[in-house]
A and B are shown apart, each in its own frame.
Chain A
Amino acid sequence: MAYYLILGVMFISVTCVNSQEIEWERVSGGISISYLQPNGDMGKYWNNSFGLGGELKYELSKRTYLATGIQFSSFSKNNIKKSVPNFYFISIPLEIKFIFLIANGLHLSTGGGIQSNTFMFLGPEAEKLDDNDTESEFGIFIALGIETISFNEHTLEFYSKYQTIFSSPEQIGILFIGMRFFFF
């Protein structure tokens, strides 16, 4: 997982730099909070969850951004099936994002990308996995949001994102609804 984080940050650091120097004034960072609603088996046997994370984005051009971050969630089982474990869910997205002005100070944002998803299974139910109690899998996502610039040029964004994780025997889908606040 750490590799993907490093790679993601490195990718941002270099992809956008045409002059071969990082223009730090184009980098923004902040925090995010979101509500996660999975479907399929994950929605059936686990409760919905909240996620908390850190965000980074780089302005490629006036309307184009490259974004990454890390988000942490904890999923608890709903006791329909007792043999399933609770787990931590850590996601690291890499997103290309486009914004469009729809009203004064209000932007529509849309984008998509790939996401690394790590599942850390917990408790005695996870013991039958032996050493494989932490597994990562990729997913792809599309996102849509509304951005407003306020609070001394800081950006507040309300967004929704749907991602599909390439698991087997069927893919997992998760709907994220949340808020991002970029304060630098």
Chain B
Amino acid sequence: MKMKLKIFFLIVIALTSNSICQFSKINETFGMRMGSTLSHSIKYQEYRSTRFLPVVNNFNLNRWVSSKTTYIFNDLPVNVSLLNMSSLDLLPANLITNEITDTYDSDLRFQSGHSIGISSITIPDEFSISFRGYLGSQTGDQLIHFFTRDNTETTNINKIPPSGAISISNSNNKWGYRLTAGYYGFFSTGSENDRIISNTNNYYFNKLNKQILTSGNIFYQFKNNEILSLDFNFMSYYGWDIPPFITSFVHLENYFHRFQLSLKNLFGNLNLYLKKDESQGMINPGSGILPSKFLQTEYSFYSLWNLDLSESDKLEISGDINLYKFKNLSYKDDNPFQNFFNEDKDFINYGIASKYVHSFTNTFQSTLNLRYTKQNLLNTISGSIEIKEKIFKNTLLNFSAESYSYVPNVTELYGNFTRTDLIFSVRGNSSLKFSRSNKISLDLSYISEFSGLSVLQINPFFELIQNPIDQNTLQSIRTENTGEILRDAQYVNGSNQKLFGSYFLINAVFNKNIVVQSECQIADNKEVEYIPKFKSRLDIILSLSKYGNIAASWFYRTKSYWSEFTVSKENDFYLETGFDGLLPQISVVSLYYDFTLKPFYIFNILHFKISLENVFNSTQKYLPIGNSLNRTFVFAIAGEL
């Protein structure tokens, strides 16, 4: 009997491996943009008030108002953010020229331990034109009911006009280039948001949220394999959102650009980088909101040296020095405005890091990371150790212990925003100390030898965060006219918090045309806000062979508690009921159909997708404020010439 079970198990694994290999890219095709692709996995914490710009963290104890997940864009970190809104969709990246390469829990080359990598896809060695676009709409327009029902107001349901990006590229063994342009538009309003934003500023109320991106990349490869590359990336944002720093609806503008010069493989194994990141942010005026305009610039130099000490020993040494400048700008001549930063300032920080990998055997490896960082008067050391061992033929054991420190950013230190109508403000705190995250994790994975992907995975973890940087709420009210929850708050180092939990992944097939991918996470959230006790996702993917794939996805998470949004009855001037800060459970079913043709006439590949997200129109909220994400149809097309 045991033998039969074992044979059955092995057959399932073998079939799964082939099919999962075939379907491994399905999740990527579900996403419209980088952010939505990542948020398809429960491994990430997602916070958003609209369908777009999700703030995604890969560290469970990340505070929403103070994300410590760093995006590593084209090998280098992005350290400037718009009002602490660190969304993938605010980067000049798109799904045709970029990919999410990895998530790091033990990479200390940069200032953050927890990071998400986004890199450019290799430029093809022939002239190529690629594009990806989509359009769609949430359901729930009033249509005739605006006329037939009394006391109705017009509602701007979330709509997605034609959006997407196009790229042209070419390369040979010496040089290459890529030019990319994109446009993304969406209305981020809806019944709840309409009331708030129309009362805040009627001029911007009906404005479409829009983003433009452009990128230019060129490289030249020298005879001795050295590569010189120059990259320019630009992304703009114009629209309504709830930035974590303000935790209130404001109309924003942001113009971010990066210049990056890279010299790789110098002397065989030395990489040098120079970059300039600049973000010009604007808060536009509204009822009780004075406008502000501010500039953040970071100049950085990075070096990375890989040393092969022996066949079994590898050493990586890296260093970085960063000049950070931030200042207030005048909004418009003669207009009153508020300074977003308490002071204009420059400062330098630097760090040195090393990574040492020792392979005891072909199947047993250890990694030691160390980093020293200095910023202003703060010095800190981070470190991690990781042990990987193949304990059976296809079973991998990965143990890691990490301790990272985080230096507060300029928004947390010097940010300032005041509602002049109610004299409510959110303030930075220049005396903040660094916080420290400690994590122990054990990861047991059964890897398919056919696809190289995990078929079974169990990952228990324990996290402890010391001196977490958070906003301390002094008072919360629900306003009379709009029903918006406003907070009077200041950044502080909060009390220590810990979280114990486990992540599970099971991929299985029932026959060669059906794949089931499931994952869940259980966490003891007694001490921790935001984190639901249970999260799960179940994807069932049915292959129709030449007619494409149909997928059904069920996402479920239990309720969570957000104490900072608690409003007492006395301070609830809108409903007079008070608000207990509970975010209800989410249970969302979505359907997808995708179809690929290759080749098709002049196209090398042509890909179509129709998705119906939130089929049953259930309540789907990731923040106590902002709209529920309702049932949505999205049509997408992608191709390559």
User: Are A165 and B143 in touch, CB under 8 angstroms?
Assistant: yes
User: Are A15 and B633 in touch, CB under 8 angstroms?
Assistant: no
B139 interface neighbour in A45, A132, A137, Cβ under 8 Å? A137
User: Are A129 and B143 in touch, CB under 8 angstroms?
Assistant: no
Fill in one digit per residue for A120-138: 1 if any B CB lies within 8 Å of its CB, else 0. Answer: 0100010001111001111
Given contacts A14-B606, A15-B608, A138-B137, contact A167 B597 (CB under 8 A): no
A-B pair count, CB < 8 Å, reads: 95
For residue A119, which residues in chain B have a CB less than 8 angstroms away from its CB?
A: 143-144
Given contacts A11-B608, A17-B597, contact A84 B143 (CB under 8 A): no
A129 interface neighbour in B154, B597, B598, B610, Cβ under 8 Å? B154
Question: Which chain B residue lies CB-closest to A85?
Answer: B147
Fill in one digit per residue for A1-29: 1 if any B CB lies within 8 Å of its CB, else 0. Answer: 00110010011001101101100000000
Complex alpha-carbon distance, A85 and B148, angstroms: 10
For residue B157, which residues in chain A have a CB less than 8 angstroms away from its CB?
A: 168
User: Are A136 and B635 in touch, CB under 8 angstroms?
Assistant: no
User: Are A136 and B145 in touch, CB under 8 angstroms?
Assistant: no
Fill in one digit per residue for B122-159: 1 if any A CB lies within 8 Å of its CB, else 0. Answer: 00000000000001010111111111110000110100
Question: Which chain A residue lies CB-closest to B148?
Answer: A41
- B162 CB within 8 Å of chain A: yes
User: Are A14 and B608 in touch, CB under 8 angstroms?
Assistant: yes
- A83 CB within 8 Å of chain B: yes
For residue A132, which residues in chain B have a CB less than 8 angstroms away from its CB?
A: 154
Given contacts A20-B599, A41-B144, A129-B154, contact A169 B139 (CB under 8 A): no
Complex alpha-carbon distance, A89 and B498, angstroms: 57
User: Are A167 and B140 in touch, CB under 8 angstroms?
Assistant: yes
User: Are A20 and B601 in touch, CB under 8 angstroms?
Assistant: yes
User: Are B143 and A125 in touch, CB under 8 angstroms?
Assistant: no
- A114 CB within 8 Å of chain B: yes
For residue A42, which residues in chain B have a CB less than 8 angstroms away from its CB?
A: 144
Question: Can you add 10 more A-B contacts, CB < 8 Å, to A4-B635, A137-B139?
Answer: A14-B595, A14-B597, A20-B597, A41-B149, A114-B612, A121-B147, A125-B147, A137-B143, A168-B142, A169-B145
User: Are B135 and A166 in touch, CB under 8 angstroms?
Assistant: no
User: Are A167 and B142 in touch, CB under 8 angstroms?
Assistant: yes
Complex alpha-carbon distance, A81 and B150, angstroms: 12
- A153 CB within 8 Å of chain B: no
Q: How large is the interface on B (under 10, 10 to 19, 20 to 34, 35 or more residues)?
A: 35 or more
- B68 CB within 8 Å of chain A: no
- A175 CB within 8 Å of chain B: no
For residue B598, which residues in chain A have a CB less than 8 angstroms away from its CB?
A: 20
User: Are B608 and A166 in touch, CB under 8 angstroms?
Assistant: no
For residue A21, which residues in chain B have a CB less than 8 angstroms away from its CB?
A: 601
Given contacts A14-B600, A20-B597, A136-B137, contact A7 B635 (CB under 8 A): yes
Question: Which chain A residue lies CB-closest to B598?
Answer: A20
What's the least CB distance linking B249 to chain A, in Å?
21
For residue B546, which residues in chain A have a CB less than 8 angstroms away from its CB?
A: 18
For residue B610, which residues in chain A have a CB less than 8 angstroms away from its CB?
A: 114
Complex alpha-carbon distance, A125 and B144, angstroms: 12
Q: Please report the total number of A residues contacting B with Cβ < 8 Å.
A: 41
- B251 CB within 8 Å of chain A: no
- B631 CB within 8 Å of chain A: yes
For residue A172, which residues in chain B have a CB less than 8 angstroms away from its CB?
A: 143-144
Complex alpha-carbon distance, A21 and B597, angstroms: 10
For residue A81, which residues in chain B have a CB less than 8 angstroms away from its CB?
A: 147-148
Complex alpha-carbon distance, A11 and B149, angstroms: 37
For residue B191, which residues in chain A have a CB less than 8 angstroms away from its CB?
A: 168
Fill in one digit per residue for B601-641: 1 if any A CB lies within 8 Å of its CB, else 0. Answer: 10000101010100001000000000000010101010000
Complex alpha-carbon distance, A3 and B157, angstroms: 18
For residue A121, which residues in chain B have a CB less than 8 angstroms away from its CB?
A: 147
Complex alpha-carbon distance, A14 and B191, angstroms: 38
For residue B135, which residues in chain A have a CB less than 8 angstroms away from its CB?
A: 3, 7
User: Are B144 and A138 in touch, CB under 8 angstroms?
Assistant: no
User: Are B155 and A166 in touch, CB under 8 angstroms?
Assistant: no
A17 interface neighbour in B137, B148, B600, Cβ under 8 Å? B600
B144 interface neighbour in A4, A7, A84, Cβ under 8 Å? A84
For residue B606, which residues in chain A have a CB less than 8 angstroms away from its CB?
A: 14
Q: Which of B148, B154, B595 has the most CB of A within 10 A?
A: B148
What's the least CB distance linking B93 to chain A, in Å?
25
What's the least CB distance linking B445 to chain A, in Å?
38
Complex alpha-carbon distance, A170 and B59, angstroms: 41
**18 residue pairs from A and B, CB less than 8 Å apart:** A10-B637, A14-B600, A14-B606, A15-B547, A41-B145, A83-B147, A84-B144, A119-B144, A125-B147, A130-B154, A131-B206, A135-B143, A136-B141, A138-B139, A168-B140, A168-B141, A168-B142, A169-B142
Complex alpha-carbon distance, A172 and B149, angstroms: 14
For residue B631, which residues in chain A have a CB less than 8 angstroms away from its CB?
A: 166
For residue A11, which residues in chain B have a CB less than 8 angstroms away from its CB?
A: 608
For residue A83, which residues in chain B have a CB less than 8 angstroms away from its CB?
A: 147
What's the least CB distance linking A142 to chain B, in Å?
16
Fill in one digit per residue for A33-50: 1 if any B CB lies within 8 Å of its CB, else 0. Answer: 000000001101110000
For residue A131, which residues in chain B have a CB less than 8 angstroms away from its CB?
A: 206
What's the least CB distance linking A9 to chain B, in Å?
13
Complex alpha-carbon distance, A17 and B547, angstroms: 9
User: Are B139 and A129 in touch, CB under 8 angstroms?
Assistant: no
What's the least CB distance linking A167 to chain B, in Å?
5
Question: Which chain B residue lies CB-closest to A75?
Answer: B144
User: Are A84 and B141 in touch, CB under 8 angstroms?
Assistant: no
Complex alpha-carbon distance, A59 and B565, angstroms: 56
B595 interface neighbour in A15, A60, A125, Cβ under 8 Å? A15
User: Are A45 and B137 in touch, CB under 8 angstroms?
Assistant: no
User: Are A137 and B600 in touch, CB under 8 angstroms?
Assistant: no
Question: Which chain A residue lies CB-closest to B546?
Answer: A18
Question: Which chain A residue lies CB-closest to B612?
Answer: A114
What's the least CB distance linking B544 to chain A, in Å?
11
What's the least CB distance linking B549 to chain A, in Å?
13
For residue B600, which residues in chain A have a CB less than 8 angstroms away from its CB?
A: 14, 17, 20
For the complex of A and B, list the 4 residue pairs with the smallest distance between their C-beta atoms, beginning with the closest.
A166-B139, A168-B140, A41-B148, A84-B147
